[in-house]
Amino acid sequence: MDALKNKARELLAAKTVQVVIGYGRGSGGAARAVFVREASKADTLVFDDGCRQNLAVYLMKPEVRKLGKAALVAIPSTLRAVLQLAAENQVGEHDLLALVVTPAGEVVQLATLQAIEAHVASLDPDLSTAEKEELKKYEALSLEQRRQFWQEQFSRCLKCYACRAACPLCYCSRCTVECNQPQWIPVPAHDLGNLEWNVMRAMHLAGRCVNCGDCHRACPVGIPLYLLNQKLISDVFANFNFRSGMAVKTDNAMSTFKPNDSEDFIR
Amino acid sequence: MSEFSPKIVAFVCNWCTYAGADLTGTSRMKYSPQVSIIRFPCTGRIDFMLLLKAFANGADGIIVSGCHPNDCHYSSGNFHARRRWIVFRGLLDFLGIDVRRVQFSWVSAAEGAKWAQLVDATAGNIRQLGPFSDYQRLRRGLGVG
């Protein structure tokens, strides 16, 4: 942890970056995001297994962008989110650098997007065995069981859009749910709108989600949004052989095509 | 009690399927009258939300049809649409929505007969599946939307 604090201090003192976005201690000792802008405040930084939030989410917030170049304390999903944002032309070479804390407590500085790409290449983007098994379990349910399961889950949705706020890739400045001519999604937390919102959120992340799980952790009523994301991640890979957040320049799964994409349902 | 008459909404592209359906009519071919055709510039324009809106507004079945691969007026709209439907269909199925209610097809401007068969077959399938009351029930208590 000292290595991280020293690195942050060094970067801020040399004005290489204007802000270090990292983890600090919040209420109850939980990890929370901190924005360190002065070298003297670098001691607030911590790093442990509880640091799971994908801090790439802040890269797209206008109030954070305004601060200047950021050093981002990054876990694997953070790096993939950064690459995905770069592939979508949302962050550039000069917006950030990433700090990866190794299991030994050392800090690796990834100063360019290419360096991040090279680092990410050593990660396995596949779903874990446990995730695959859980997905299979739900896929194996009958149609009616799945319908009832999701209706029950979505019935708790409050339409608070915490899933959207927590997601590094849900960055549109004007979201369809705020669009009211036409009103695509009914405003109240109601069965129909809840289903439509959750379908839309999942679909708009198809081929983009990096499976950080922050939407699910942000959900105040515990809707297993990760299942929807992982279903789409698995389908996109099975059909298009595509993994999001692995390269700076890439043809995104849903904004490109292959003439020989195959399906068995179009007659 | 009279037989259930399904409401089917067809989302079709202007250049192939709409012209194909027109050919069906000008050729005096008879087909199921339960279909309401909505014309789009391209299948690439057909957002998945439009399909959900059709179901929410009482459709029991949906047809989505456009130009055959390599025939798109805009050269690649249908390829993009195909990707979207591959993903969307998987998601609907995962959510427990019966994907047999959404029939995807390629119907060219010359395939008037295929259009008639497609609508008849889809109407037959939807008649067997019955009204989509599971989905329509979701609207309960919602004034507008």
In order of their start, the domains of chain B are 8-135 (3.40.50)
Residue A242 forms contact with B (CB below 8 Å): no
| Contacts with B119 from chain A: Cβ below 8 Å | none
The tens digit of pLDDT for each residue in A165-195 reads 999 999 999 999 998 888 899 999 999 999 9
The Cα angle at residue B40 between residues B37 and B43, in degrees rounded to 5: 105
Task: List, as ranges, residues 246-265 from A with C-beta within 8 Å of B.
Answer: 253-259, 261, 263, 265
The DSSP-derived string for B78-92 is HHHHHHHHHHHHHHH
Burial B33-42 (b: 16+ CB within 10 A, else e): ebbebeebeb
How far are the Cα atoms of A60, A114, A199, B115 from residue A254, in angstroms, in the given order?
A: 21, 23, 16, 28
User: Does B1 score more than 70 pLDDT?
Assistant: no
The tens digit of pLDDT for each residue in A228-267 reads 999 999 999 999 999 999 999 999 999 999 999 999 999 9
Residue B133 forms contact with A (CB below 8 Å): no
Q: Is B69 exposed, middle or buried (0-12, 13-18, 19+ CB in 10 A)?
A: middle
Q: Which two tokens stand for residue A146?
A: 């799945």
The tens digit of pLDDT for each residue in B85-121 reads 999 999 999 999 999 999 999 999 999 999 999 999 9
For A45, list phi and psi in degrees, rounded to 5.
Answer: -70, 140
Contact A83, A76 (CB under 8 A): no
Q: Determine whether the interchain pair B83/A267 forms a contact, defined as Cβ–Cβ distance below 8 Å.
A: no
**β partners of residue B64:** B11, B104
Q: Is B60 exposed, middle or buried (0-12, 13-18, 19+ CB in 10 A)?
A: buried
Q: Determine whether the interchain pair B144/A255 forms a contact, defined as Cβ–Cβ distance below 8 Å.
A: no
Residue B118 forms contact with A (CB below 8 Å): yes
Name which of B94, B100, B101, B105 to mutate to probe chain A: the one with the most chain A Cβ atoms within 10 A of its Cβ: B94
The DSSP-derived string for A91-135 is S-TTTEEEEEE-TTS-EEEE-SHHHHHHHHTTS--SPPHHHHHHH
User: Model confidence at B145, in pLDDT bands (50, 70, 90)?
Assistant: very low
Beta strand extents in B33-93 (DSSP E only): 35-40, 61-66
Of A209, A207, A211, the residue nearest A255 (C-alpha): A207
Percent of chain A whose predicted confidence (pLDDT) is above 70: 100
ipTM reported for the complex, 2 dp? 0.93
Average pLDDT value for residue range A56-60: 96
Q: Determine whether the interchain pair B104/A254 forms a contact, defined as Cβ–Cβ distance below 8 Å.
A: no
User: Does A34 score more than 70 pLDDT?
Assistant: yes
Dist CA A180 CA A214 (whole Å): 27
| Contacts with B106 from chain A: Cβ below 8 Å | 266
pLDDT at B102: 98
Average pLDDT value for residue range B62-89: 97
Dist CA B117 CA B109 (whole Å): 14
Q: Determine whether the interchain pair A266/B105 forms a contact, defined as Cβ–Cβ distance below 8 Å.
A: yes
User: Model confidence at A1, in pLDDT bands (50, 70, 90)?
Assistant: confident
Of A262, A249, A245, the residue nearest A126 (C-alpha): A245
Please name the member of A147, A203, A207 whose beta carbon is closest to the beta carbon of B134.
A147
**β partners of residue B66:** B106
Beta strand extents in chain A (DSSP E only): 19-25, 31-36, 70-73, 96-101, 107-110
Q: Residue A184 in 3-state DSSP?
A: coil
Q: Please give the residue that has the higher pLDDT: either A51 or A1.
A: A51
User: Does B143 score more than 80 pLDDT?
Assistant: no
Of B127, B82, B142, the residue nearest A195 (C-alpha): B142
The DSSP-derived string for B114-127 is HHHHHHHHHHHHHH
Task: List, as ranges, residues 24-83 from B with C-beta within 8 Å of A.
Answer: 48-49, 52-53, 56, 69-70, 76, 79-80, 82-83
Contact A253, A207 (CB under 8 A): yes
| B18 to chain A, closest Cα gap in Å | 16
Q: Which two tokens stand for residue B112?
A: 């008037």
Sheet of B102-106, strands arranged across: B35-40, B8-13, B61-66, B102-106
Q: What length does chain B have?
A: 145
Dist CA A204 CA A195 (whole Å): 14
Please name the member of B49, B70, B104 whose beta carbon is closest to the beta carbon of A265.
B104
pLDDT at B142: 77
| A47 to chain B, closest Cα gap in Å | 36
Output the average pLDDT for chain B. Answer: 95
The tens digit of pLDDT for each residue in B18-52 reads 999 999 999 999 999 999 999 999 999 999 999 99
Output the average pLDDT for chain A. Answer: 95
Dist CA A53 CA A77 (whole Å): 9
| A53 to chain B, closest Cα gap in Å | 26
| Contacts with B118 from chain A: Cβ below 8 Å | 267
Dist CA A20 CA B89 (whole Å): 42
Contact A212, A169 (CB under 8 A): no
